[in-house]
Amino acid sequence: METNSSPGEADLAGSVEVVRSLAERVRVNVQRVIVGKSGAIDLAVIALLCRGHALIEDVPGTGKTTLTKALAASLRCEFHRIQFTPDLVPADVLGLNFYNMRSGEFEFRRGPIFSQVLLADEINRATPRTQSALLEAMQERQASIDGVTSPLPEPFMVLATLNPIEMEGTFPLPEAQLDRFLLRVNLGYPTHAEESAMLDRFRSSEGISGVEAIAGPSEILEAQQAVEKVLVDDTIREYLLAIIEGTRAHPQLRLGASPRASLSLQHASQARAAIEGRGYVAPDDVKGMATAVLSHRVVIESSASLRGRTRDNIIAEILGRTSVPIER
């Protein structure tokens, strides 16, 4: 029986299946230790597929560190964790040159930034100087130490956790650094059924040790390349830009989304479409990713904040009044 699909369409379908399969296996694997929260897990996977970084923000005890460690354990990649504290210095992140008395030469000792998956735990507890050590690595995937620039391994991903409640002894992340994160993940409290299942499951749990590595660097790089092939129609691109421009024109936002946010929203929408098994971006993909991609990049006016407005509901308002293109 003959089919009407062209070789290009068949290639795209095969690429999408690679992404969908990888995302599904990672989701199932992580849910061995994270009960429910499939949406948050998908967001973390989308950040990985887009060569991006994720900021996981929520109150203590909701599973931020557990999620990041479970995701890292699912990937056959080099993993390092940095516990950010006020006394941490940039050399603790990047590495340093030290004098080897035996050889009589300086040698470079790599810091934890030279890994494929980096967990920056409680990133807002480090000083601005140490936080800035991540800027070059997150954007340009390289690190400069003593005038020498070294590339970081591929794939490279930063998973940063942040507690928005406890402000004592913390340093707010500057907008320039927040803009480096592809998206923000909020876990939230579990439902009654999820918490009951969690209590039942972890009476005698293996914890993170029960998570197996199910994907290696080559498979991840293949999936990242496949996401870039997902089609974005001109009407979808115009819809995306209308949302971005809506943040810049909103009277209750002091700072709108940057051009980097436009790129991030497009890439995240492509990844979401591929995870859903589609080779093209639909309006729902853009709408579904907008809050996660944009909420940490905009700055709300203090007067609006005092009236109880939040970044999330302002973005929801912008989405509600932006005309949605008819899907063809």
Per-residue pLDDT of the chain (328 residues; tens, 9 = 90+): 344 556 567 778 888 898 999 999 998 888 888 887 888 889 999 999 999 999 998 777 777 888 888 888 888 888 899 999 899 988 899 988 887 778 777 788 888 999 999 999 889 888 888 888 888 889 889 988 877 888 999 899 999 988 777 666 688 888 888 899 999 998 888 888 888 888 887 776 555 666 788 888 899 999 999 999 999 999 999 999 999 999 999 999 999 999 999 999 999 999 999 999 999 999 999 999 999 999 999 999 988 888 888 999 999 999 999 998 875 5
Residue 282 belongs to a domain: yes
pLDDT for position 312: 92
Cα 146 from Cα 90, distance rounded (Å): 12
Residue 311 belongs to a domain: yes
The burial of 139, by beta-carbon neighbours within 10 Å (0-12 exposed, 13-18 middle, 19 or more buried), is given as middle
Residue 109 belongs to a domain: no
- Tell me the per-residue pLDDT of 182-213, one tens digit each, with 9 for 90 and over: 999 988 888 888 888 888 877 765 556 667 88
Residue 328 belongs to a domain: yes
Residue 265's CATH number: 1.10.8.80
pLDDT for position 69: 85
**Secondary structure of the chain in HEC code, one letter for each residue:** CCCCCCHHHHHHHHHHHHHHHHHHHHHHHHCCCCCCCHHHHHHHHHHHHCCCCEEEECCCCCCHHHHHHHHHHHECCCEEEEECCCCCCHHHHHEEEEEECCCCEEEEEECCCCCCEEEEECHHHCCHHHHCHHHHHHHHCEEEECCEEEECCCCCEEEEEECCCCCCCCCCCCHHHHCCCCEEECCCCCCHHHHHHHHHHHHHCCHHHHCCCCECHHHHHHHHHHHCCCECCHHHHHHHHHHHHHHHHCCCEEECCCHHHHHHHHHHHHHHHHHCCCCECCHHHHHHHHHHHHCCCCEECHHHHHCCCCHHHHHHHHHHHCCCCCCC
Cα 313 from Cα 47, distance rounded (Å): 23
Residue 238 belongs to a domain: yes
Number of domains the chain is built from? 1
User: Whole domain around residue 308: which residue ranges?
Assistant: 230-328
pLDDT for position 3: 46
pLDDT for position 162: 86
Residue 276 belongs to a domain: yes
Residue 61 belongs to a domain: no
pLDDT for position 12: 81
Residue 292 belongs to a domain: yes
